[in-house]
Structure 1
Amino acid sequence: MKGKEPLFQTAKRESIEPWKAWMIRLIAVFLSLVVCSGIIIALTGLNPIEVYKGIIEGAVGTKRRVWMTIRDTLVLLCIAVGITPAFKMRFWNIGAEGQILIGGVTSAAMMIYFGNTLPPLILFPLMLLGSAIAAMIWACIPAFFKAYWDTNETLFTLMMNYVAMQVITFCIIFWENPKGSNSVGTINSATKGGWLPKLFGLEYGWNLVIVLGLTIAMYFYLKHSKQGYEISVVGESGNTARYAGINVKKVIMRTVALSGALCGIAGFIIVSGASHTISTSTAGGRGFTAIIVSWLSKFNTFAMILVSFFLVFMQKGAGQIASQFNLNENASDVITGIILFFILGCEFFIDYEVRFRGGKRSSAE
């Protein structure tokens, strides 16, 4: 039968120059802003430029807001770096929220019991190590069942989040016994025992050093270490990994333990370096947001810095445009969603080449 050639065909790219890939992404961001402008005008009648200014003002309009944005970016980045090795291995760790809570409550316990007795030189390393170990053990529970009985890690890790919330609730009642309360008040507010101090005059200097250190270390771990190579092989195919002589059970346990430990460190950073309190909402949904960060960055920890900053930037801008223009805070979520849609969509044009073709062809069935 006779038929026309398709208007266009797609072909997998073997490679693309980095500058071209970034150019495609920048075009996607520009087009997303154009679409957002049209939606803002259609739904609100507001000047989209003023709305964008409001978002910028809400995120970095004052020195305090700048530091708040940096603080939350560092926390989200730490969690994204933490879940990345597990996700690269195709172990769907949806339990980062629970691991953050377990790390956070461990830090809170040490602040309450040792914050005013141990010297900082001993207290802070002990808090960081304790939070990492506690969250690591918590993460190893579903990892063990996955490695030895091939259970569904998505459901297992998700359910562990709710168990962690009950652990936090028990600790809150044990420490303060408040009826109906779901948080512990500011810990050691008078003495600031266990509060991470300033570093080089920066309010969140230690957060910056810890998180950037982990980001750099994870990049080289995944890209240039034997264990990082084993993670990639197991992620591609467990059978191939076994054929190559890799102990898949060992890799699963080791990788998820590392993932949980880093999420626990994020809990330490939140409790000791930011909020100085513990509650069932300490994680604040960031364990799920970090999944978006990790996937958008294609497991590149340096790219996660930009993605984390963008998501926090838009989140901080939501409150400003809500108060300034009397809009619902979801308006910023709509703008963020459109931009993310374009960014995700542009990855198709980075991975695939679109070839336009014309003319007719003949084929027989």
Structure 2
Amino acid sequence: MSKGREPVFQMTKREAIEPWKAWLIRLIAVALSLVVCAGVIIALTGLNPVEVYKGIFDGAVGTKRRAWMTIRDTLVLLCIAVGITPAFKMRFWNIGAEGQILIGGVTSAAMMIYLGNTLPPVILFPLMLAGSALAALVWAIIPAFFKAYWNTNETLFTLMMNYVAMQVVTFGIIFWENPKGSNSVGTINSATKGGWLPKLFGLEYGWNLVIVLALTVAMFIYLRYSKQGYEIAVVGESGNTARYAGINVKKVILRTMAISGAVCGIAGFIIVSGASHTISTSTAGGRGFTAIIVSWMSKFNTFAMILVSFFLVFMQKGAGQIASQFNLNENAADVITGIILFFILGCEFFIDYKVRIRSAKQAGSEE
């Protein structure tokens, strides 16, 4: 009696893999992606791939200023990714980071405008940080409340609140600077620099670095070792299981989104006070959505997010450079980034699963 032919490829889920092997797989994936990108570059542009890669490197860290810009944007993206991570680990799809950043940023801008030249820095900066965090916290709790008590769709709710936040920012811009209508406030307190985060240890973005790294470490410890972090993981796995275990799911949803929103609000503070010193409807710049990629690629490990954030910003800066240097359409640079991301995301399959290839003799032995 025929039993059917056994498949040539067999996949089994790995119980565990040593960290060095996982990182080796990722490095091989990056190397393969660069080889494929080289072929695409030659086919589409006829350029020397090595020169294009040099252009990417030069655009990201080729000068001291470019390097600091890359570090600055990496810190902002990392902060946002750290902020959305607890919500996503709880399987609460917080697509509203953009709005929470804007609310935190507009709060910082308001304090800079009204208090920047009156309060001493030792009082002003903690007040701005706390105010931005609190404003975004309240903003994030609104969809969390509706989700907890009426099971609304948090994806749509948080997404729509982004547009409401943009209107709040627009109102503030018109009220403060341009009654005729504008989409941005010019540099705030350019003469006095009131409310601008100062240098720390001689580093232009020293305070940004300290704040973001502190949040990164704190969030890692919170999610990995605290009771509340354990509750977030349980609720994310199964709300019914969490209720059976005596966990107050409504409380966990509200608390987790409060934390998520507060950290995103701090990102708004960092952008406005520590980087751009302006506020506009494009202050978030799409980074709230990019941070989702960072969080998922890092598997909610905040330390891994440092590398992923740097890589994405590095490629973004480099893509802009090669677009101008080689007179390429920016979409060509996006293709390169997309190929690399495809390989990096795809390699996770080989980290989670083991593929065994059966010989032709073994595959055809059972019929």
Q: Is the 8 A contact 1:2 1:361 kept in 2?
A: no
Q: Which runs of 5+ in 2 are unaligned?
A: none
SS in 2 for 1:3: coil
Aligned to 1:205: 206
Q: Is contact 1:233–1:240 with CA below 8 Å preserved after alignment?
A: yes
How many residues are aligned here?
363
Opposite residue 291 of structure 2, the aligned amino acid is A
Deviation readout 1:118-161 (Å, 9 max, x if unpaired): 00000000000000000000000000000000000000000000
* Cα displacement string for residues 25-45 of structure 1 (whole angstroms, at most 9, x for unaligned residues): 000000000000000000000
Q: Give the equivalent residue in structure 2 for 1:354.
A: 355
Question: Partner of 1:309 in structure 2?
Answer: 310
| Alignment partner, residue 194 of structure 1 | 195
Q: CA deviation at 1:179?
A: 2.6
Counterparts of 1:1-365 in structure 2, within 5 Å, are 1-358=2-359, 359=362, 360=364, 362=366
The runs of 4+ residues in structure 1 deviating greater than 3 Å are none
Structure 1: gaps of 5 or more residues: none
Report the alpha carbon displacement of residue 180 of structure 1 after superposing the two structures with TM.
Answer: 3.8
Q: Structure 2: how far apart are the matches of 1:348 and 1:147?
A: 33
Question: Which letter maps to 1:81?
Answer: V
Q: What CA distance in whole angstroms lies between the structure 2 residues aligned with 1:206 and 1:353?
A: 44
Secondary structure, aligned partner of 1:347: helix
| 1:356 Cα deviation from its structure 2 partner | 1.2
CA distance in 2, matches of 1:331, 1:221: 41
Post-superposition Cα deviations, 1:6-58, rounded to whole Å, max 9, x if no partner, equal 11110010000111111110000000000000000000000000000000000
Alpha-carbon deviation of 1:177? 2.4
Residue 3 of structure 1: how far off its partner (Å): 2.6
Q: Secondary structure at the match of 1:46?
A: coil
User: 2:89 and 2:365 mapped to 1: Cα distance?
Assistant: 43
Deviation at 1:257, TM superposition (A): 0.3
Supply the distance in 2 between the matched residues of 1:333 and 1:236 (Cα, whole angstroms): 35
CA RMSD of aligned residues (A): 0.9
Q: Which amino acid aligns with 1:323?
A: S
Please list the CA deviations of residues 75-125 of structure 1 after superposition, one character each: whole Å capped at 9, or x if unmatched: 000000000000000000000000000000000000000000000000000
How far apart in 2 are the matches of 1:179 and 1:337? 41
How far does the alpha carbon of each residue in 1:324-350 deviate from its partner, in whole angstroms, 9 at most, with x for none? 100112222111110110011000000
Contact 1:83/1:96 (<8 A) preserved: yes
Amino acid of the residue matched to residue 33 of structure 2?
A: S
> Does structure 2 retain, via aligned residues, the 8 Å contact 1:59–1:317?
yes
The alignment partner of 2:189 has SS state of coil
Give the counterpart letter for 1:289 in structure 2: T
**d(CA) in 2 for partners of 1:19, 1:200:** 35
Mapped to 2, the partners of 1:34 and 1:25 lie a distance apart of: 14
Q: In structure 2, give the amino acid aligned to 1:29.
A: V
| Partner secondary structure for residue 180 of structure 2 | coil
Give the letter aligned to residue 222 of structure 1: L
| Alpha-carbon distance between aligned partners in 2 of 1:65 and 1:89, rounded to the nearest angstrom | 37
**C-alpha displacement of 1:318:** 1.5
Deviation at 1:4, TM superposition (A): 2.0
| Whole-angstrom CA distance in 2 between matches of 1:361 and 1:303 | 45
Contact 2:137 2:262 in 1 (8 A): yes
**3-state SS of paired residue (1:355):** strand
CA distance in 1, matches of 2:365, 2:150: 53
CA distance in structure 2 between the aligned counterparts of 1:77 and 1:132, rounded to whole angstroms: 16
Aligned residue type for 1:348: F
1:362 Cα deviation (Å)? Answer: 4.3
The offset of 1:361, in angstroms, is 5.0
What is the alpha-carbon distance in structure 2 between the residues aligned to residue 229 and residue 38 of structure 1?
46
- Does the 8 Å contact 2:174/2:181 carry over to 1? no
Residues 3, 361 of structure 1: 8 Å contact kept? no
1:178 Cα deviation from its structure 2 partner: 4.3
Residues 55 and 318, structure 2, Cα contact 8 Å, conserved in 1 = yes
Q: Report the residue type matching 1:239 in the other structure.
A: N
Give the superposition deviation at 1:277.
0.4
